[in-house]
Amino acid sequence: MRKPAGLSILLALLLLPAATAWSRPSEPHRIAVLRTLDKVTARVGTIEAPIDTATRFGTLRVTPRACLVAPPIEPPERAAFLEIREQDGPQRGEVVRFQGWMFASSPGLSALEHPVYDVWLLDCREPLAAPSSATSR
């Protein structure tokens, strides 16, 4: 059975934005700015976590591996790849509670599921130095 030509064109048009979204260049940054919530005490805070450095929040250890910002010509978006671990007793050691990408514009899309703590991405700070575009003479 042959597909109608209009259906193929429609599918291509629907998939094109998704394909180009993944190929967009992003600007890496040095610090992930995270919002934290302790559900027991109702304390809200902000953590500035350097890339590849573990930062403590309660019993959690948050380590951002990347923090990317969309270029100025694109819709505003910040994304960070986070590893969140928790000490699970003296015998068991650390347990991974979350590992993946978080997006500032959609905090519920990929979130930490924890009974006591919430962590979500707010921003990325301190862009890495871009290579100089000036030619050496």
pLDDT at 88: 78
| 117-127/78-87 β-pairing | unpaired
Within-domain flag for 59: yes
In a domain, residue 8? The reply is: no
Angle CA 56–65–69, to nearest 5: 110
Count how many domains the chain has. 1
Residue 35 in domain: yes
On whether residue 101 sits in a domain, the answer given is yes
Q: Is residue 60 part of a domain?
A: yes
Question: What is the model's pTM?
Answer: 0.72
Residue 11 confidence (pLDDT) above 80: no
Higher pLDDT, 55 or 8: 55
In a domain, 2, yes or no: no
Question: Is residue 7 situated within a structural domain?
Answer: no
* Position 116 pLDDT exceeds 80: yes
In the predicted model, is pLDDT for residue 23 greater than 90? no
Class of residue 124 by CB neighbours under 10 A (exposed 0-12, middle 13-18, buried 19+): buried
Structural domain range at position 47: 25-127
Does residue 16 sit within a domain?
A: no
pLDDT at position 14:
39
Q: Average pLDDT for residues 70-75, to the nearest whole number?
A: 86
